[in-house]
Amino acid sequence: MFSMFTHDHMVEEKGEQDDQSTASAHAAVMVKEVLENLQPEVEGTYVDATLGMGWHAKALLKMIGQKGRLIGIDKDRRSLEMAKDNLKEYSHQCEFVHGHFCHLDQILKEKHIDRVNGVLLDLGISSFQLNNQARGFSFQHEGPLDMRINQDAALTAFDLINSLSEFEIAKILRDFGEERFYQRIARNIVKSRALSPIRTTKDLCEIILRSMPAGARRQKIHPATRSFQAFRIAVNHELEEIDVGLDKCMDLLKPSGRIVVLAFHSLEDRIVKQKFRLFANMGIAEILTKKPLRPTQKEIEQNSRARSARLRGVRRL
């Protein structure tokens, strides 16, 4: 589906500083609820399959004891380095892997691990990634249209936006962003790039705003939110990886092992809900959360990132 369009990716020196300044402000979401549903066992082997900066992992490591084992996986090399630093007191029992949980079978095979006691997936994008201008995730900061979580990946948002057909762009906006004005936005993207390539988050944001009627520009969330989400999901193949990855997580659980997932938008949560139902219908798992758990009002007040979080859990039979 995606054709290539080459350019010299812009890099901002400010990016490294942004990583450092926002890392400390980032807080793990729903830690208490995660641990209650994961029920970590002393000396167990666990996978934090979206390690981030390691804050959930730190809470988990405190419960599994010094003989417990943690495999921390992340697509973002920068996140992985920060997690190593944050978890240095537990380094003797942690292994850090640059990769994705949809390859969990290969990762565990290389570690000579057959089965694990539990897997945690936090599907959200972290504050330091959003706030790093050089990564191009946010319409709130001007930066290059990158949006790659894995910086080793070849394809960027710039490539998609400047090379896909109007139909393909509209489909991304509709399917991955649930954007009401997907046709208008796609049409204006194609018109704009015919004059000059769309290079920055500001350029894209302006096109999106121009595409919307005045009333839609005054909605509660920023009018560009859904479109930026859509392109990020497309660049990183996020939904396909969740679908494949959950199957592998279930296959690699020990009896009574658990998967806990934190989703942050309806598309992710829908896949998790359907996959857990499928496992239950197959008779291989028990759903732990009939409805998704939500953060407390107190946590939302302390950490606005938690507002959209939805937690689901499942136990292998």
Q: Which residue has the higher pLDDT, 126 or 260?
A: 260
Query: Is the per-residue pLDDT at 19 higher than 60?
Result: no
**What residues contact 241, with CB distance under 8 A and at least 6 apart?**
100, 101, 102
Cα separation, 144 vs 134, in Å, equals 6
pLDDT of residue 215: 73
pLDDT of residue 128: 62
CA 282-283-288 angle, to 5 degrees, is 110
pLDDT of residue 140: 81
Asked which of 44-58, 126-140, 175-189 is least confident by mean pLDDT, the reply is 126-140
Bridge-based pairing of strands 253-263 and 116-122 is parallel
pLDDT of residue 221: 79
- Domain residue spans of the chain: 14-18+138-235, 20-127+238-316
CATH class of the domain at 14-18+138-235: mainly alpha
Query: Is the per-residue pLDDT at 282 higher than 80?
Result: yes
In the chain, what percentage of residues exceed pLDDT 70?
89
Query: Is the per-residue pLDDT at 7 higher than 80?
Result: no
Residue 126 three-state SS: coil
Q: How many residues does the chain have?
A: 317
**Same fold flag, 14-18+138-235 and 20-127+238-316:** no
Mean pLDDT of 292-309: 92
Query: Is the per-residue pLDDT at 104 higher than 60?
Result: yes
Query: Is the per-residue pLDDT at 311 higher than 70?
Result: yes
The edge-to-edge listing of strands for the beta sheet with 94-98 is 94-98, 69-74, 45-48, 116-122, 253-263, 310-316, 285-287
Task: Judge contact between 73 and 52, C-beta under 8 A.
Answer: no
Asked which of 60-74, 201-215, 272-286 is least confident by mean pLDDT, the reply is 201-215
Query: What are φ and ψ of residue 98, in 5° steps?
Result: -85, 110
Q: How is residue 10 written in tokens?
A: 């812009």
For residue 200, what is the DSSP state? B
**Whose CA is closest to 14, among 126, 131, 133, 129?**
133
CATH superfamily of 20-127+238-316: Vaccinia Virus protein VP39 (3.40.50.150)
Mean pLDDT of the chain: 89
In the chain, what percentage of residues exceed pLDDT 90?
78
pLDDT of residue 20: 42
pLDDT of residue 24: 41
